[in-house]
Structure 1
Amino acid sequence: MVPGRGVIAAVVVSMTIAVGCAGATDDEPATTTAELAPNQVAGVALPADAVDNAVGRLDELAGSLMDSTGIPGMAVAVVHDGKTVYAKGFGVRDGRSGEQVDPDTVFQLASVSKSVAATVVANQVGADTVDWTTPVVDHLPTFALADPAVTAQLTVADLFAHRSGLPDHAGDRLEDLGYDRATILDRLRLEPLDPFRITYQYTNFGLTAGAEAVAAAAGTEWAQLSADVLYEPLGMQSTSSRFADFEARPNHAVGHVDIDGDWVARYTRDPDAQSPAGGVSSSVNDMTRWLTMLLGTGTNGATTIAPPEALLPAITPQVISSPAAAVDARAGTYGYGFNVSTSPAGRTTLSHSGAFALGAATSFQVIPSADVAIVALTNAAPIGVPETLTAEFADLVQFGEIREDWRTLYRDAFASMDEPEGDLSGEPAPTDPAPAQGLSAYTGTYDSDYWGPAMITTDDTGLVLTIGPAQRRYPLRHWDGDTFAFEPIGENAPPGSVSSATFTDGSLTLDYFDEDGLGTFTRGG
């Protein structure tokens, strides 16, 4: 599921202001525009006591979101002026036990992990282990994409900016089938490519490959590197890039999904294969240390994680992620692991969302010119709750009021992204289907270089598809002629997904696995 979603009304903001103040409140000295470059000047001055007043609304806003959505748990924290000014838990970390969320409850961050990972890389850039422009093959010599020219030029930066040309979410469904990180990264070479460096396509495993190159350069594995250069120096004692550590925390939040209107703890999401892109777990108390470091441009108190010149490329625009749809609209941009945006007030904001369909939704937002950041972590499948809260808070900081109906905007945006996958989703079964052949005509092993073998067997119910190291079993029900239907499951298959499995002249095409034209399997001899 694609993180970093947002729906924002477009506002034209002039960057040329002759007089006024930027980032000023009634009780803080104003910074005159003469002291700032023109592109640092905000279009709207901060209201009086902007952060204090916004923080004062958080109990109300978070509580009403919890009540209106029924999600089980959430934790929220705010940092300002080098200090944590708010940290609180709401609801329960496990709906079965009723144990309460507090600021030390550990949540899975999902794709917020990408921003965390970028600061690990910035540390290594500052240490001269790598540079953002280091070619990936310098440290992962066997890594390749479909085009040898792209492989030779591909840098750590390209992968952290999602501009490698890999298709959207390339490799994610291999993870659903149980393949490990090394296998998934190796099979990325089979993915078709879009134009290099001018196409933005969000990829968990592309970014993971970039992180793996950095870890190889450092002579260690990624999770250990993250602990050594980021978590331990900042005192993030409850933070890890290993799923086993998350599960072992006594105070951790269990993922919940909406089943017929009830939030139920049903699934376990192990994201180790994509750890740099989605595998970090942390508490809001730990995340405040990281956010304080971000606001300090790489430094928190006496601890420097990265020099400003190493961190700045990650937190400034490197690629257009969402082109403007109108001449008066703002385009969305992405740095290295960060969404970088211009707010309606004319202020740069840094953000990222994270989402596991199996039970996690997270978001943070940083407004550097106001020296403030907020993080919201939840243990519920994504419906826009953390994004709503951080957007409402950002409005209050910048305008003194909530100017958009973020609750409706995010609810609708997430609902539209949760449509079932597969060509037969929502389709009525044929009323007069052509008959199938005898089941033995379909049984056997069908091979794919990308997906591996797909085995078609029979049981008491009929045909069964088994695929992947996790031996995912999908009963096949007859649809029409040599076409059968199955219901994919997993992180990337929303409820109601139905796909065709079509047998044709010794081949098998699985529509759900054919997103990038790789879904045809050839029958073995």
Structure 2
Amino acid sequence: DVYKRQDLMRKSGIPGMAVAVVHGGKTVYAKGFGVKDATKPEEDENRVDPDTVFQLASVSKSLAATVAAHQVGVGAVSWDTPIVSELPWFALSNPVVTSMVTVGDMMSHRSGLPDHAGDMLEDLGFDRRQVLDRMRQLPLDPFRISYAYTNFGYTAGAEAVAVGAGKPWEVLADEVLFRPLGMGQTSYRFTDYRARPNRAAGHIHMDGRYEPAFVRDADPEAPAGGASSSVNDMTRWLAMVLANGSHDGKQIVAPKALLPALTPQIVSSPASEPAARSGFYGFGFNVSSTSAARMELSHSGAFELGTGTTFLILPSADVAIVALTNATPSGVSEALTAQFADLVQFGEVREDWYGLYSAAFADMEKPVGSLVGKQPPANPVPAAPLASYVGTYRNDYWGPARITERDGELRLALGSKLDVPLKHWDGNTFTFSFITENAPPGTVSTAVFDGVDRDKLTLEYFDTFKKGTFVK
């Protein structure tokens, strides 16, 4: 229903979207809406069409699961292959868990790693190996009974699969999935996305409007979030999943290897009351049952810097839908696919899906920091001489924080991407503001110098897991 798509775009203000539907092994609908870049004229070359390439964000995980399933089917690895058998350098903080954690554990988010472990390291410019090496420093929740969504845990599982195949992940995905399915506009390489002439720019939501102000390079976590594709390409993959791993009469993925990915491996969202339904996670797929007692497979992808994506599959109805948008997630792709599922099952939309999803995503846009919305003290305690703060402060997890003085102000540099001015707040407390994938616009962090001769620096934003103290 074109009206519903356009109505969601009007309510949300997102610049562009593409939608496609698969049924009976065929693409029965594929259309683009809006523009690829909100700063350019609404002319033909700027209009979204079904071949426009979008970043997929975490929908990448479901593609990756089918790559892994292919390798399971050919016997290169199994879902139960220990990570250390392929990545002997990899470790978690518990040596017993290190020896036991498998490809399946990582690709179902049940390793015990904390929620979104390592994502902020990626924001600072650390590469895949550097982030995975630091997983050993993080606390663990109970193994195999705790669910916590981890992009780099998932990436570790995919890396083990790639090593088992003897080739880089990006090459493996091309060879066993994208080329056999004819997905010529799909890739796990950021450079491929940037090179596509028909490409949707990501738009961040700032000051009440969407702007293409940032470009997200997710190569460090490519298997979990770095793929890009068009809805025309995605329909080929959806049809393959609906056909139990086959495409054009050829078996791309063995059904026995694919089935575990599409069935519950852990409870991801426990029921809140006896009458409610729990949600589950397979290997790279959300697995749930609808109010019509149909099994539903789905996944969403979200980049704060400018991508919102969703697919939804109803296997018993032999139907699937994919919606790709080029803006900070606002619930549009989720609402549209939920509306579609209602129409398939009941002939009518039964919930205000956009109202529900937009409220949930609004929370994700809230800025971070204890001083957000607060005014500086009217009579702050003066800072010490700025030169006394200058130096390099060590931290095993985040790497060195470098404090310099330039033109009468302090600056903080951390990793290869963060370089910001420090604004005096009160005494030895300074603040800094920045925007990253995990720090929405308006985020404010304190930087507190302490100890003898101010030899300790605590960065509030980076104090996750009590790892935010740096020593001079």
Matches within 5 A, 1:78-477: 78-97=21-40, 98=42, 99-470=46-417, 472-477=418-423
Counterpart residue number, 1:46: none
Q: 1:213: how far off?
A: 0.5
Deviates more, 1:119-128 or 1:255-264: 255-264
Asked whether the equivalents of residues 206 and 441 of structure 2 are also in contact (C-alpha less than 8 Å), the reply is no
Superposition TM-score, scaled by structure 2 size: 0.97
1:132-190 Cα offsets, whole Å, 9 max, x none, are: 00000000000001111110001000100111111111111111111111111111111
Task: Provide the alpha-carbon RMSD of the alignment.
Answer: 1.1
Instruction: Choose the corresponding residue for 2:435, options 473, 489, 511.
Output: 489
Counterpart residue number, 1:76: 19
Letter in 2 for 1:123: H
Asked whether the equivalents of residues 167 and 516 of structure 1 are also in contact (C-alpha less than 8 Å), the reply is no
Q: For 2:326 and 2:420, locate their aligned partners in 1 and report how far apart those are by CA, in whole Å.
A: 28
Asked whether the equivalents of residues 446 and 454 of structure 1 are also in contact (C-alpha less than 8 Å), the reply is yes
Q: 1:426: how far off?
A: 2.4
3-state SS of the aligned residue for 2:81?
coil
Q: For 1:341 and 1:433, locate their aligned partners in 2 and report how far apart those are by CA, in whole Å.
A: 54
- The answer to whether 1:522 aligns with 2:471 is yes
Asked whether the equivalents of residues 476 and 486 of structure 1 are also in contact (C-alpha less than 8 Å), the reply is yes
Counterpart residue number, 1:511: 460
Q: 1:461: how far off?
A: 4.8
Displaced runs of 4+ in structure 1, greater than 4 A?
Answer: none
Asked whether the equivalents of residues 423 and 512 of structure 1 are also in contact (C-alpha less than 8 Å), the reply is no
3-state SS of the aligned residue for 1:373?
strand
3-state SS of the aligned residue for 2:464?
coil
Letter in 2 for 1:485: T
Matches within 5 A, 1:28-107: 57=1, 59-97=2-40, 98=42, 99-107=46-54
1:238-272 Cα offsets, whole Å, 9 max, x none, are: 10000001111111111112232332211111111
Q: 1:445: how far off?
A: 0.3
3-state SS of the aligned residue for 1:111?
helix
Counterpart residue number, 1:499: 445
**Percent of aligned positions that are identical:** 61
Instruction: Choose the corresponding residue for 1:479, options 425, 430, 439.
Output: 425
Letter in 1 for 2:433: E
Letter in 2 for 1:493: A
3-state SS of the aligned residue for 1:445?
strand
Q: For 1:63 and 1:75, locate their aligned partners in 2 and report how far apart those are by CA, in whole Å.
A: 11
Structure 1: which 5+ runs fail to align? 1-56
Deviates more, 1:206-215 or 1:513-522: 513-522
Q: For 1:322 and 1:461, locate their aligned partners in 2 and report how far apart those are by CA, in whole Å.
A: 51
Q: For 1:464 and 1:231, locate their aligned partners in 2 and report how far apart those are by CA, in whole Å.
A: 45
Superposition TM-score, scaled by structure 1 size: 0.87
Q: 1:414: how far off?
A: 0.5
Q: For 1:317 and 1:173, locate their aligned partners in 2 and report how far apart those are by CA, in whole Å.
A: 29
Asked whether the equivalents of residues 233 and 303 of structure 1 are also in contact (C-alpha less than 8 Å), the reply is no
